[in-house]
Chain A
Amino acid sequence: MTLSDTLHLSFKAIMSYRIRSILIVFAMALGVAAVIVLTALGDGARRYVVNQFSSIGTNLLVVMPGRAETSGSFPGMVLGQTPRDLTLKDAQLIGQLPQVKRYAPLNVGVAELSAANRLRDVTVLGSNANILPIRHMKLAQGSFLTQGSGHSAQIVLGAKLAQEFFPRTNAIGQRIRLGENRFLVSGVLVPQGESMGFNTDEVVIIPIDYAQSLFNTTSLFRILVEAKSHNQIQSTKQAILNSLKQSHDGEEDNTVITQDAVLATFEKILHALTLSVAGIAAISLIVAGILIMNVMLVAVNQRTTEIGLLKAIGANTTDIRRLFFMEALWLSLAGAIIGFLLGQFGSLLIRLIYPQLPAWAPIWASLAGVVVALITGILASLLPASRAAKLDPVTALSKK
């Protein structure tokens, strides 16, 4: 029997048991679609987080006071020391390192903002002019805290705040109170929305000196550092640690985290999540495979006399085995293709409903879904096919 005849005959068999075939194909398609949609979700979440995290800066390093200790106690405690704070002097020291492109010291606090009978609490960022390029923020209008004019009482408003306090007038040049002090609005930020749970539309930025006096502190919350290039991130980290250690009398009491490392961790976790979700979905494919096996076994049983007849008119075991094998292959192939389309359609729906979630199934997942469907289909057909091929023609023909 030629291959095309085998394909044709097995296809005819599938078409004549329509409901049975539709149900199996549906089960198989659902499994493939589940793999594709779920990995699309998982990978979409990963891409979403990575995008968010990348958007907060490039080649970013964050210097924090204190040191994450695994020994459980800070060594300085024995000597009655506490971890040293980060200071503006430390920030300047870091700024002098050759690997550092720019740095921005950072203080964060909450203060009352008031103007024209309006009043609300806002998050205050104290920094210098570098915070803008480092954090990928943009000005909508006006000018930022100009470098060197750190002592003038300027304030930059988040987009939403500018809208709230000066709904009808231009915010630039207006006077506004922050805590006890009066500031001149010098600029307004471009609305960015939330990123990493931090909404830049509702913050104000003031020069670091003012922030320190506002919050009555000399220490810094963070120092944000941008390395000159991606390759220099590690050496920058080392250089910062060394220089801080020197200025802190040999005590390593600071932590530097790199955006890269955090990003890699996020990616790893979310990739593992995607994989495990895909694995769970793949179980449904195996269930579909078992379904195919069951249905093919029933088919062999139903068509016993037909198999006997085929043998009587000269079909050999290979012919019979191939017929049943092809039948299962058709079913799983149809299931795989329909499932693939269904999965792509499902991912599209998710992207339409949640436009911020890039729910594209990775190619490996689509491929794996289809391939696993075919393989389970093929494996599931082996037993029924060989059972059909081994039927004794005389017994088969005499079956009523």
Chain B
Amino acid sequence: MIQLTEITRIFHMGDQAVHALNEINLSIKSGEYVSIMGPSGSGKSTLLNIIGLLDKPDSGHYELDGKIVTDLSETEQAQIRREKIGFVFQTFHLVPRLTAAENIELPLILSGLAPKERHTRVNEALLAFELQDRAQHRPSELSGGQRQRVAIARATIMRPTAILADEPTGNLDHQIGAEVMTLLENHHKTGTTLIVVTHDRELGARAHRQIAMRDGKIMIDQANDTI
């Protein structure tokens, strides 16, 4: 359960204040599939960063699973990111010197899990995302689709309650992008909340609930009747 109340985020560009988010009120239930769309600079990525606790709002408060998380310490927020949130980025953000398996393992390492347990979990993930023969390859030796699969495996390895994807198909061609979306949606079907930021209408239309933003405000928030 994500509950945003009057969230405002202001960026300062020179002497001009830009309202990236302007008193946003938003409630997303656990297990929902939401797409956030809008033109560049509409505030959709900022909204995602705030939901993912990467960014702090200038005002308003944010309740996650019944707990106000806006005022938590940096360490506590890091723990929530680790345990409850999985990020998927447009540019994958894999660590170039680590192999696919090691990249997937990273969140487990950060959580302090024992190596043996980590090994089993990583192998399961490699299998689930059909990456077993790519396990020892570095990101530079992987195709775009494979990289994003590694990134999704990494985002889901901690079994988070929400997956936040920021333009997950932005660097992929249409077919591979569709495959990646299917992977994310499959994971959503296991009960995970899925929030996808995109400016691809077709992709956005796949979500059960569509939010359109402009100038830091939510313009449209509608359920997808076709599904």
* Chain A contact residues, CB within 8 Å of chain B: 1-2, 5, 9, 12-13, 16, 305-306, 308-319, 393-394, 397
Q: Check B6 for interface membership: any CB of A closer than 8 A.
A: no
Could you tell me if A305 and B54 are in contact, using CB atoms closer than 8 angstroms?
A: no
* B125-183 at interface with A (beta carbon < 8 Å): 154-155, 158
Could you tell me if B97 and A313 are in contact, using CB atoms closer than 8 angstroms?
A: no
Q: Check B55 for interface membership: any CB of A closer than 8 A.
A: yes
What are 20 residue pairs bridging A and B, where the CB atoms are less than 8 Å apart in the complex? A1-B110, A2-B112, A5-B112, A12-B97, A13-B97, A305-B93, A306-B93, A308-B93, A312-B87, A312-B93, A314-B81, A314-B82, A314-B83, A316-B74, A317-B75, A318-B75, A393-B55, A394-B54, A394-B55, A397-B89
Contacts of A397 in B (CB 8 A): 54, 89, 93
C-alpha gap A5/B113 in the complex (Å): 10
Q: Check B111 for interface membership: any CB of A closer than 8 A.
A: yes
Give the one of B74, B83, B95 with max A CB within 10 A.
B95
* B96-111 at interface with A (beta carbon < 8 Å): 97-98, 106-107, 109-111
Contacts of B95 in A (CB 8 A): 306, 309
For the A-B complex with A308-B93, A311-B78, A314-B78 known, give 6 more contacts whose Cβ atoms are closer than 8 Å: A1-B112, A13-B97, A313-B110, A318-B75, A319-B78, A394-B54
Could you tell me if B97 and A5 are in contact, using CB atoms closer than 8 angstroms?
A: no
Please encode chain B, from 68 to 90, with 1 for each CB lying within 8 Å of some chain A CB and 0 for all others.
Answer: 00000011001101110011010
Return the chain B residue nearest A2 by Cβ. Answer: B112
Contact of B54 among A13, A16, A311 (CB under 8 A): A311
Contacts of B82 in A (CB 8 A): 313-315
Give the one of A13, A310, A312 with max B CB within 10 A.
A312
C-alpha gap A308/B95 in the complex (Å): 11
* Chain B contact residues, CB within 8 Å of chain A: 49, 52, 54-55, 74-75, 78-79, 81-83, 86-87, 89, 93, 95, 97-98, 106-107, 109-112, 154-155, 158
The 10 nearest A-B residue pairs measured at CB: A314-B82, A316-B78, A16-B97, A309-B93, A316-B75, A314-B81, A393-B54, A313-B107, A312-B87, A5-B109
Contact of A315 among B52, B78, B97, B155 (CB under 8 A): B78
Contacts of A316 in B (CB 8 A): 74-75, 78-79
C-alpha gap A312/B158 in the complex (Å): 13
C-alpha gap A9/B111 in the complex (Å): 14
Contacts of A1 in B (CB 8 A): 109-110, 112
- Chain B interface, >50% SS class: helix
Contacts of A312 in B (CB 8 A): 52, 54, 81, 87, 93
Return the chain A residue nearest B95 by Cβ. Answer: A306
Return the chain A residue nearest B87 by Cβ. Answer: A312
C-alpha gap A316/B98 in the complex (Å): 20
Give the one of A2, A13, A318 with max B CB within 10 A.
A2
C-alpha gap A273/B81 in the complex (Å): 59
C-alpha gap A270/B168 in the complex (Å): 71
C-alpha gap A313/B151 in the complex (Å): 11
Contacts of A5 in B (CB 8 A): 109, 112
Return the chain A residue nearest B86 by Cβ. Answer: A313
C-alpha gap A16/B107 in the complex (Å): 21
Could you tell me if B107 and A314 are in contact, using CB atoms closer than 8 angstroms?
A: yes
Return the chain A residue nearest B98 by Cβ. Answer: A12
Could you tell me if A314 and B79 are in contact, using CB atoms closer than 8 angstroms?
A: yes
C-alpha gap A162/B191 in the complex (Å): 106
C-alpha gap A152/B41 in the complex (Å): 117
- Known contacts A316-B78, A317-B75, A318-B75; is A310 also within 8 Å of B97 by CB? no
Return the chain B residue nearest A308 by Cβ. Answer: B93
A17: shortest Cβ distance to chain B, in Å? Answer: 8
C-alpha gap A9/B107 in the complex (Å): 13
Contacts of A318 in B (CB 8 A): 75
Contact of B106 among A13, A310, A317 (CB under 8 A): A310
Could you tell me if B87 and A313 are in contact, using CB atoms closer than 8 angstroms?
A: yes
Could you tell me if B74 and A317 are in contact, using CB atoms closer than 8 angstroms?
A: yes
C-alpha gap A317/B110 in the complex (Å): 12
Contacts of B78 in A (CB 8 A): 311, 314-317, 319
Contacts of B111 in A (CB 8 A): 314
C-alpha gap A318/B49 in the complex (Å): 21
Contacts of B49 in A (CB 8 A): 394
C-alpha gap A256/B86 in the complex (Å): 88
Contacts of B81 in A (CB 8 A): 311-314
Give the one of A13, A305, A318, A393 with max B CB within 10 A.
A393
B174: shortest Cβ distance to chain A, in Å? Answer: 24
Contacts of A305 in B (CB 8 A): 93
C-alpha gap A2/B118 in the complex (Å): 13
C-alpha gap A30/B49 in the complex (Å): 47
Could you tell me if A313 and B74 are in contact, using CB atoms closer than 8 angstroms?
A: no
Contacts of A313 in B (CB 8 A): 81-82, 86-87, 106-107, 110, 154-155
Contacts of B55 in A (CB 8 A): 393-394
Contacts of B74 in A (CB 8 A): 316-317
